[in-house]
Structure 1
């Protein structure tokens, strides 16, 4: 019975000593979290009005948010009576150990910063990097997310993106569609070029400037190959690509121009 009373008294003393500090720390955390949300929301509105790029907005807001949260946690811990200087030393030592263990992640973080500064691509751009092709969906602190033509989500570390070759098909606002159409050697070259060029100029997705072109590409073994090259906006690339092949075939058939293909000849043995 006496031990129980001792424990109760000990608990009451602890509650009396640390209770106010704990309640204050909880209150500081709740209010601080609310204030941080307000600050981030206000900062987001300011960035939107200043027409910051969407990817840069997300990056800076995430960085700013985590910085404020770290300061809040330090403030809460100091209110509990923990020596902040000692805590900071422990954090620094732990940070060094974690930094050594997470060199790849730090490299990706640095790569993300470089991508934000130099902006080799933006959200919505069609890019080719690290052996994959896709539209940029999101640029995060550590990774870049692409959506492939097959609608697959591709997640690439920013360290690799910043240090590798990047082909941006959207940056110039237009892209050339390279297709090759072959016709029989007996067909008239000028007439063929007129038919193929007519296909390109009749497609509303093909740009007038730069103008589309049709030229003899090579004299192949069984066909005269034409380089059929329209320009279009990057988002219309596949529509123009497939339409060019289909409409060229239809137009050549209508004009009576033959596209060569293998023929099978049956040779009958003499009786």
Structure 2
């Protein structure tokens, strides 16, 4: 949604033009989001920090978090110094993997804030401060590597790839942490996957052809300009083809006549 909102607001507030493919991408993103909301699983009710702590301490999520942390450290300390300047996926994968921790921290802090206004002693709970530290560290890391990626690579490539990777990691984290898809039917699973793929297609159209001047008015001209160049057929009777276009008049062969 942030990618879609930024594109729409920039077209109105910053005067950036949204071409035909960009509008089509926005429409596909809205359709995909609607399909995902219709088929989305119901959130498991977690109302206290103790319940959130029990979710975080489950073996499945601990193993998943350990794998993500190991992958992130491997990317930061080994792959990023060697291939970060040439491969766009290195920095964006770091941002996306760290996003799993930031989203989980935001979910837990939301519960803590509700408990604080309800009069619960959430400030004395150690999980509150662990979530705060995790959120600050993860957001700082995300901003750092996202800015590095934007400084090196094209923006029209960075945002779609980051959106797809980040959304995939967040959905996977939600499945493992809250087990939201356990009660889903096959129709809801297929609908959610199709909606997510539709969003990916819409974001791709929105950014991949961002600098292309395509509208309903000039669409026929754009299609005509993409016609193939005429194909030259080879003459099978010619044994050797010589290019004489670069030969000047003085360099051409001369004929001498001998009189006797």
TM-score (norm 1): 0.28
TM-score (norm 2): 0.28
Question: Which one scores higher on RCO, CA 8 angstroms, separation ≥ 6?
Answer: 2
- Larger helix share, 1 or 2: 2
